[in-house]
Amino acid sequence: MRKLTTPDKILTYEDMFRVDYVSFVRGLAAKKSMHVPAQDGVVSGDAIDAYVNHGRWVVECPDCTGASFVSEIELRFWCLSCGNASVNFAWRSVRMPKDREQIEAVLMFRPAARADRATTRNWTTDETVKDLEKENIDHGVVVDS
């Protein structure tokens, strides 16, 4: 179930939904008549790097176009498009960047209509915090001092 209010921050799965991520995935997979992860704890393959898209921490499936909010509690991903079939339906682990706090701090200076509609708040794994700060300056983002 969706939460009624959205905090003004870079959002994760837990900011958006009340039900825990594993129950959400298992429930939706069952509803879509998909093979569900047989053992919740088993993780296979390389970790997938999280990135920020429109103010949300997301992870993208390495096998298809599926994507999902990052669960910062679980830090694992099960694709609701392909079911992680290439790793025998196991979960994949998710890696957050080491400088997550700095990334979020710089992005939060950017204006947004709402935290979950923050088209200006984006970060990809090839960008540094300095890159984000330069973008803020280039776009005239007002930074509190």
Q: Rounded CA gap, 55 and 134, in Å?
A: 18
Site for Zn ion in 28-47 (CB under 5 A): none
Sheet holding 67-69, edge to edge: 51-53, 56-60, 67-69
* Contacting range for Zn ion; rule: CB under 5 A; set: 2-10, 15-23, 46-54, 74-82: 74-82
Q: How far is the CB of 77 from Zn ion (least distance, A)?
A: 9
Q: Does 79 bind Zn ion (CB under 5 A)?
A: yes
Choose, by CB under 5 A, the member of 64, 67, 75, 129 that binds Zn ion: 64
Would you call 135 helix, strand, or coil by DSSP? helix
Q: Rounded CA gap, 20 and 99, in Å?
A: 26
Q: Rounded CA gap, 143 and 71, in Å?
A: 29
* Contacting range for Zn ion; rule: CB under 5 A; set: 21-29, 35-43, 57-65, 98-106: 57-65
Contacting residues toward Zn ion, per CB under 5 A: 61, 63-64, 66, 79, 81-82
